[in-house]
Structure formats: C-alpha cells, structure tokens
Amino acid sequence: MSRWASSDRGYRRHRPSPGPLRPLRGLVKPALVLLAAGASRRLGECKALVDLAGSTPLERLLTAGAACDDGPALVLTGAAHDELRAALSAPVEVLRNAAWEEGRTGSVLAAHKARPGRDLCLAPVDVPLVPGRVFELLVAHWMAAGQPPRGWLAPCYRGRHGHPVVLGRELLGDLEEALAHDPELSLRDLRQMADPLLSLESEAPEILDDLDLPTDLARLRARCQSR
C-alpha cells in the first residue's frame, strides 16, 4: 500500500514520521505567501498588525514560515496596504491586490503572477499562531510527494483541514485560466480541480484558528499568555 492512503473525502492522508526529515537537494521549495488583503471590518482593527504577546501576525508567520523558499516572502495586501508596508522591516516583497474586495482568490492569482512557475505556500493572517514545525512538515512532505504540479496539500487536525496550504504551480495556472471563464470562481472550486489532493495529519490545533472577531482576538491573546 502507498504511504498516501485514500480517504472518503477525496484527500490522500499521511501521518508524519516522528523522526527527522531530510531535505531533498536540488529541488525548489514552495514560495511563502502571506495573505493580508482584507479590511478586518468585524475585528475593528487591522488583523495583520494586532499585538499577540509582543508580535504581530505578520511577524509570527514570517518567522514560522522560514522553512519555505530562501527567497523573500511575498505579502499580499489590500485595504491596509500603506499601513502594512510601513510596518514591514523584514526583507519581504509587498504587493497590493487592487481588487481585494472581490475576495481571496484574486490575491492568490496575484501571487501566482508575482511568482510564476512556483509552488506556493499560502498563509492567511487570519491563522496567526501556526508553529514553524507545521511549515517544516508541509514543505518536507510536499517535496517528498514529488512537488505535484497540480497538487494541493493541507494540514489536518482531528479530521478538520486548516492552514497554511501548498498549491502546485500548474494548478495555479489553471486558476488563471478558469477565472477568465468564471470570475466568481472560489478557492474551494480550485481545490476540486487539484490532483492529487493531499492531507497531512497535524498535532497543532493552531491550524484551525480564525481571527475574525474581537472575541477571537481575546482568545488568541489569552492562549499566548498561557504559554
């Protein structure tokens, strides 16, 4: 039996080995993309820049995502572009999605155009406490799976899939073509186009966080303080 097991939801799952993972030489890792284009209206302040135990979601994800490509991370902005650009001191590339109000799909397409021919690791600032180990495992298992050009890899905690996700370079190209025919195409639709659809078992509940409301922020701050 393959180490990628079939599931009834279409995903092929893999439970990571507890041993060390060896990086594969000569292969290009996925490029890190932080999605931070939303207006944070329900939160009432820019969620990418809120304080979480002395660090912002942007800072935390840039640090945690260090396992991705060695090149500069790409930060997709929108409503708070000027504020975010001023706050970023790390060597990153900042790109504004002018159509940010139309949803996250446009930011993913903009990232694909900025990193053509690259697999992308997409990390939304809505999920700010993802540990670095999750990024490491995702990258390692994406590489071990052969970097499937139309693949999709998501972490899974107790049967629920979360973020970040890795998308294959050709799948991203499919997105550009599909949007030309259907501007309303969502990322959920794109996931249905993926082959293979991969899932990595994770022990990190942080992959399911959703920073959306003031109550969410209070909960995340309390968790940070209890560590």
- Round to whole Å and give the CA distance between 127 and 209: 5
The model's pTM is 0.88
Q: Is 90 a residue whose pLDDT tops 90?
A: no
- Round to whole Å and give the CA distance between 137 and 16: 8
pLDDT per position as a tens digit, 159-204: 999 999 999 999 999 998 898 888 888 999 999 999 999 999 999 9
- Round to whole Å and give the CA distance between 103 and 106: 6
Q: Is 27 a residue whose pLDDT tops 60?
A: yes
CA angle 191, 194, 198 (to 5 degrees): 90
- Find out whether 37 and 107 touch, Cβ atoms under 8 Å: yes
Check the CA dihedral 57-90-134-18 and report its sign: negative
- Round to whole Å and give the CA distance between 136 and 121: 11
Number of independent structural domains in the chain: 1
CATH code assigned at 68: 3.90.550.10
> At 205, is the pLDDT very low, low, confident or very high (cuts 50, 70, 90)?
very high
- Whether 139 is covered by a domain: the verdict is yes
- Round to whole Å and give the CA distance between 11 and 145: 14
- Whether 128 is covered by a domain: the verdict is yes
Selected residue with higher pLDDT from 99 and 123: 123
For residue 153, give its domain range. Answer: 29-221
- Whether 14 is covered by a domain: the verdict is no
